[in-house]
Amino acid sequence: MPTKITQRNSKIHGQGVFALADIKAGEDIVQYKGKLRTHDEVDDEYGGQDNGHTFLFILNDEYVIDANIGGNVARWINHGCAPNCQAFVVGSGSGDPRKDKVVIEALRDIGAGEELTYDYDIHIEGPITAQERKLWACHCGAPNCTGTMLKVGKPKKRRTLVG
């Protein structure tokens, strides 16, 4: 994947990722990288430390990508309620869950200078408390912005490809 993106300050939240050149709909933009860890390892290290900011990406039933360790620019892509990108899991052809990966793809054409966003799809059992709503506030500015990155209920199934 050629480098068409850069990290810089964002109006949405701290840092963000921006297009350096036009990106076409359906184009793979960047792989989400970091240390591969089990859910138990991540829970042991970060459990109960919600701060409204995460670099953890659930890869599959066994593993999480922890971009706090060895992460790349993809960790700075902000949540958006009307996203221009989507994240999907590419399953390994061998069926080994350690070899699955996450790729960020353009949902629509993205112009140079535009900030990249995707729906973090963070689900909780609910209901969302005022404290959680404040902690996980969304500032994407979209007309349909829900004001929070959180959703109540079970997550939708992520698009998975076998590579």
| Burial grade of 127 (CB within 10 A; 0-12, 13-18, 19 or more) | exposed
Of 106, 121, 115, 102, the closest CA to residue 33 belongs to 102
- Tell me: the pLDDT tens digits for 59-73? 999 999 999 999 999
Cis peptide before 127 (omega within 30 of 0): yes
CA distances from 52 to 8, 88, 144, 156 (A): 20, 22, 20, 21
Q: At residue 76, what is the residue type?
A: W
pLDDT of residue 126: 74
pLDDT tens-digit readout, 109-158: 999 999 999 998 887 887 888 888 888 899 999 999 999 988 887 665 55
* φ/ψ of residue 77, rounded to 5: -70, 125
To which residue do tokens 């042991």 refer? 44
Residue pLDDT, tens place only, 32-57: 999 999 999 988 888 766 656 678 99
